[in-house]
Amino acid sequence: MTANEPVVVVNQAVTEGEALAAQRAWCSALLEINATYEKEGQAAAKALAEKVIDAAYAYQMGAVLFKPTLTVNPQTFRPTRAGALSYFVGGDPAFPNDKGFALKGWKKCEAVNNAIFLDGNSAITMGKVHFTDKNGKVTTVDKTWGYVRDGAGNLRINLHHSSLEYQPK
C-alpha cells in the first residue's frame, strides 16, 4: 500500500434520498393497488398488495410496528403480514372491520415531511401524507415511517404509524 493508492470507503448508511424514494414508492404502490382493484377486482388487488408488502415491509425480518390509520381495538396494531394485507385490501374474515384502505379510490398520494432522522442503516420520517380520492377530496394523515436496511441492502419499513389529524370540537 502506498500513499498514492485510493482509499476504499464503504458507507451503507441510509440516505435522505433513499428515505424519500421509499415514501414515493409506497404512495405509488398504494395508487397502483387501487387502480388494479378498479380494473381487475379484489383478487388482483390482493395479489399485487402481497407483492408490495413483501417488497416494502420488513415482515421477513420479524414483527413490523404497524399502526394503520383506520383500525380499532382489539385489532389496532398489525405486527403480522396477514394483518397488513387485510388492512390494505380487506377480505380476511380474521379482520372483519377491514374494508381495504388501498381500495378507497385514491388518485393521488403525497408525503410531506416535517423531519427525517438518519442513523446508519435505519431512518425515521415524520410528517403528513395527503390522499386525494376520485372526487378530489383530500384526506390528510399524520404519518411516521421507520426504515431499516435488510441483508440484501434493500430499505424496508419496520415502523409505520398513521393517524387522522386532530379535529378540535
Per the prediction, the chain carries an average pLDDT of 94
Does residue 75 or residue 167 have the better pLDDT? Answer: 75
SS (H, E, C) the chain: CCCCCCCCCCCCCCCHHHHHHHHHHHHHHHHHHHHHHHHHCHHHHHHHHHHHHHHHECHHHCCCEEECCCCCCCCCCCCCHHHHHHHHHCCCCCCCCCCCHHHCCEEEEEEEEEEEEEECCEEEEEEEEEEEECCCCEEEEEEEEEEEECCCCCEEEEEEEEEECCCCC
Which residue type, as a one-letter code, is found at position 73? Answer: N
Asked if pLDDT for residue 103 goes beyond 90, the answer is yes
* Low-confidence winner among 4-8, 92-96, 141-145 (lowest mean pLDDT): 4-8
Comparing CA positions, the residue from 74, 95, 73 lying closest to residue 86 is 95
pLDDT of residue 1: 60
pLDDT at 4 over 90: no
- At 144 the pLDDT is 98
pLDDT of amino acid 104 = 96
pLDDT digit string, tens, across residues 30-45: 999 999 999 999 999 9
Omega within 30 of 0 (cis) for the link into 74: yes
Q: What is the pLDDT of residue 158?
A: 98
Q: Which pLDDT tens digit goes with each residue over 109-152? A: 999 999 999 999 999 999 999 999 999 999 999 999 999 999 99
Domains and CATH numbers, the chain: 16-164 (3.10.450.50)
